[in-house]
Amino acid sequence: MESRIDQLVPSAARMQADIEQLSSYSDPSKPGWTRRPFTSFYDDGRRWLSELMRAAGLEVSIDAASNLIGSLPGSDLALPPIMIGSHTDTVTGGGRFDGIIGVLAGIEIARLLKEAGKPLRHSLQIVDFTAEEPSEFGISTVGSRGMVGNLTEAMLELSDDNGLKLGDAINRQGGDAAQLAAQVKKPGDVALYLELHIEQGPVLEQSGHGLGAVLGIVGIHRYRVTLAGAPNHAGTTPMTLRNDALAGFCEIGLAFERHCMNYAAEAVGTIGKVTNEPNASNVVPGLVRFDLEIRSLDRMTSEAVYAAFAAEASAIASKRGLRLSLEPLSKSDSVMAGEQVLQTVLQACSSVAPAITLASGAGHDANQLATIAPIGMIFVPSKGGRSHCPEEWTDYEDVAAGTQALAAALLLFDAKDLSGWQDE
């Protein structure tokens, strides 16, 4: 087995070229590297990625949730496939490594297997999941949700600021929302899900470790909050007679921060998207809509933060004569890597570079795949712990090391009987 692991040594130069090419499909009107899903820039990246998959010997398809999938048959077609995946969409003003390296690592491994001329026992699927980042529809992990049956009819009816429904956006991206239920993957359909990702934090860099085996991933609860007041003339409406939605938002936003701080050791919370109407300097704001999220490894903690916030937000809105609406958008529970998976991933990482175990504070497509299959993740260092910004950086040698560890893990898992690991 060790000889096979040694053969799968990625080319850092080849991976650098791939990363730079895929990064070039970016919206020039936005800062950093911006490739939002359901845009022409995303389409261009997908077309290039499809050709890269084909050149690596993969059969390319798009499923009902518009996920791009490259497949490589194994020698034992009775075994369920092992899946490697991540995403190629970015946040606005994002970087060149988040998500991208996980997809390109899978393709590099497929190339190495092709060059070695030794098929796996399990079939291999490399997936670029659609819209992993929070989308214009208010939810994240759209493609992986759709793959596992966690994309509800209500979610498909969500609209972006232009009135486009999510279901229609999926169809435009090559998917088929009407076929989602027919194509849902169930427990047993996937033997194992693996993902390589940048850490998006400082732990590996500060501890001097080259790789991290991920213990678990936080759950993320997202809500949309609407505050409706009364738009009015900014000069003629007395301060005592205003129903100012934006002023109410300021007070409610600080209340949310305070409740999150009460659980600072266990959770984090963010208000990252806000719209104000009519957004004019001479009009008292009449409507504010914002999205908030709470992240924690413990579901009860997330729910406690939200309950305390919702109660105070209701009181503030009532005091200010505002109408408050609280709408749940999505909830993904935290997931933990099974002990056998974790130890195998750690073994693979340690064969390449100094490695530790650590938790992920970010959400991933692995959150969704964990509902149908055991999951394992590998982190590579993020310079300065920076991510979701143009300064996001991971050395290409570290990307190659992470890919080598991912390949080593894949070969170790391929030799094992993975049945029953979902129930660990």
| 341 and 279 within one domain | no
| 384 and 321 within one domain | no
**Cα–Cα distance, 328 to 345 (Å, whole number):** 35
How many other CB atoms are found less than 10 A from the CB of residue 278? Answer: 11
Express each pLDDT in 231-260 by its tens digit.
999 999 999 999 999 999 999 999 999 999
Express each pLDDT in 294-325 by its tens digit.
999 889 999 999 999 999 999 999 999 999 99
What Cα–Cα distance (Å) separates residue 245 from each residue in 151, 240, 316?
A: 32, 14, 11
Q: Per DSSP, what are the bridge partners of residue 128?
A: 68, 86
| 187 and 232 within one domain | no
State how many domains the chain has.
2
Report the greatest alpha carbon distance in the chain: 80
| 124 and 24 within one domain | yes
What is the span of the domain harbouring residue 90?
A: 2-218+334-423
Return the pLDDT at 424: 60
| 372 and 415 within one domain | yes
pTM of the model: 0.81
Express each pLDDT in 110-126 by its tens digit.
999 999 887 899 999 99
Three-state secondary structure call for residue 197: strand
| 157 and 54 within one domain | yes
**CB–CB of 97/19 below 8 Å?**
yes
- Residue 200, Ramachandran bin (φ over 0: left; ψ between -120 and 50: alpha; else beta): left
CATH number at residue 61: 3.40.630.10
Residues 6+ away with beta carbon under 8 Å from 247: 285, 320
| 180 and 103 within one domain | yes
| 328 and 194 within one domain | no
| 199 and 67 within one domain | yes
Return the pLDDT at 333: 81
Q: Which of 306, 332, 358 is the last residue of a domain?
A: 332
| 212 and 224 within one domain | no
Please identify every stretch of the chain with a pLDDT value under 70, giving residue numbers as ranges: 1-7, 422-424
Q: Which residue has the tokens 């949310």?
A: 256
Which amino acid is present at 16? Answer: Q
The continuous run of DSSP H or E covering 115 comes out as helix 100-116
Closest by CA to 52, choosing from 5, 96, 15, 87, is: 15
Measured between its terminal Cα atoms, the distance across the chain in Å is: 25
Return the pLDDT at 18: 98
| 371 and 348 within one domain | yes
| 272 and 344 within one domain | no
Three-state secondary structure call for residue 203: helix
CATH number at residue 309: 3.30.70.360
Q: Which of 332, 356, 388 is the last residue of a domain?
A: 332
**Cα–Cα distance, 406 to 106 (Å, whole number):** 8
Q: Which of 300, 332, 364 is the last residue of a domain?
A: 332
